[in-house]
Amino acid sequence: MSSNVLAIIVTHNRLALLKRCVSALQTQKGAEADILIVDNDSTDGTRAWLEATPSLHTLYQKNEGSAGGFHGGLERALAMGYEWIWLMDDDGVPSENCLQTLLSAPTDALCRAPIVYSEEEPSRTAFGPVVTSAGSLVLREEINALPDPIIPDHVNPFNGVLLHRSVVEKAGLPKRELFIWGDEYEYICRVRAVGPIAAIRDAAFFHPQDRVAYGTMNLFGRKTYFRTSASKLGTYLLIRNFAYIGTTQINTLKGRAFFLLRHAMAHSLHFIRKGQILLAVKAPLYTVESFRLKSLGYRRFLKP
């Protein structure tokens, strides 16, 4: 162990992006991290490259998405004894002083996040606005102009987030069954219950623009969200996973049933308006599958 920080990168069949991310970690200024690559059963030469790069720690496992990847990675990090754990997917890139800025930030928060900017348009955030006391900000120049370097309770999970091991020990590990899309949100809800979260104004991380389509509609007097993706797998997981996540945040059986009704209706109505009748029919079925996460229904969408 050459550092008290372990960076975890989860990868699947994106060797070129993985190499870019690793290079960005190896050239950090002011702080350094050991690196663990969690390879989700890649078939593009990733394993051969990793085996030829002995400076990297590795964990090989079947493809369980980002949820399973970070589950296994965090479990390994705790066993290896690291104090801080830095999380990212293979398509993200931290700025050259990102880690040092996170570690030295003037905050007691044990979950620290960089500001995630769009790789395609670096002057704007990648995942929507940063909510601050000055308003909801998306432009980098506006965020950099904030007088306080600490932005309470803002985070884009699994995109350069730095966790102290005590947070993971209390919050537990990500749920493997969620696979991708929503797994990070479910996990950060548990992290938030453990202690404060802080984004660090001067820590920058770059990621491709958000691919999820969001929308809202008013149903039974309540704002109701719907989320869709261009892929069949993504749409299935967004509907199923956020149905599950929503019910975990409601205490009463009646409240959960009302939420699931609105959740299914919002997606069905959205698809009807777009002329996607088959998806409109499937949305309630995907919602019901939130009761059966362990059945791993997402596997039917994966290529053999």
In tens, the pLDDT along 74-102 reads 999 999 999 999 999 999 999 999 999 99
Q: pTM of the predicted model, to two decimals?
A: 0.92
Question: Which one is predicted more confidently, 297 or 34?
Answer: 34
* pLDDT reported for residue 210: 79
pLDDT tens, position by position, 203-250:
999 999 877 888 889 998 999 999 988 899 999 999 999 999 999 999
The pLDDT, as a whole number, for residue 301 is 84
For domain 5-207, give the fold.
Spore Coat Polysaccharide Biosynthesis Protein SpsA; Chain A (3.90.550)
Distance CA 100, CA 79 (A): 24
Structure confidence at residue 78 (pLDDT): 97
Please give the pLDDT value at position 128: 87
- Mean local confidence (pLDDT), 3-11: 95
Q: Which two tokens stand for residue 66?
A: 């980002």
Per cent of the chain over pLDDT 90 is: 86
Query: Does pLDDT of 48 surpass 70?
Result: yes
Burial class (CB in 10 A: 0-12, 13-18, 19+), 239: buried
Name the band, by pLDDT with cuts 50, 70 and 90, for residue 53: very high
CA-nearest of 154, 136, 257, 148 to 205 is 154
What pLDDT is recorded for position 304? 63
Express each pLDDT in 94-153 by its tens digit.
999 999 999 999 999 999 999 999 999 999 999 889 988 888 889 999 999 999 999 999
> Which pLDDT value is given to residue 298?
84
Rounded-to-integer distance, Cα 178 and Cα 134, Å = 35
Q: What is the pLDDT of residue 135?
A: 86
Under the banding of pLDDT at 50, 70 and 90, the label for residue 1 is low
- Type of residue found at 110: L
Residue 2: band (very low, low, confident or very high) from pLDDT cuts 50, 70, 90: low
The pLDDT value given to residue 293? 85
Beta bridge partners of 118: 207
pLDDT of residue 214: 83
Write down the domain spans for the chain: 5-207, 213-301
Give the span between the Cα atoms of 259 and 301, in whole angstroms.
26
Which residues lie closer than 8 Å to 188 by C-beta, 6 or more apart? 111, 155, 157, 197
Which pLDDT does position 303 carry in this prediction? 72
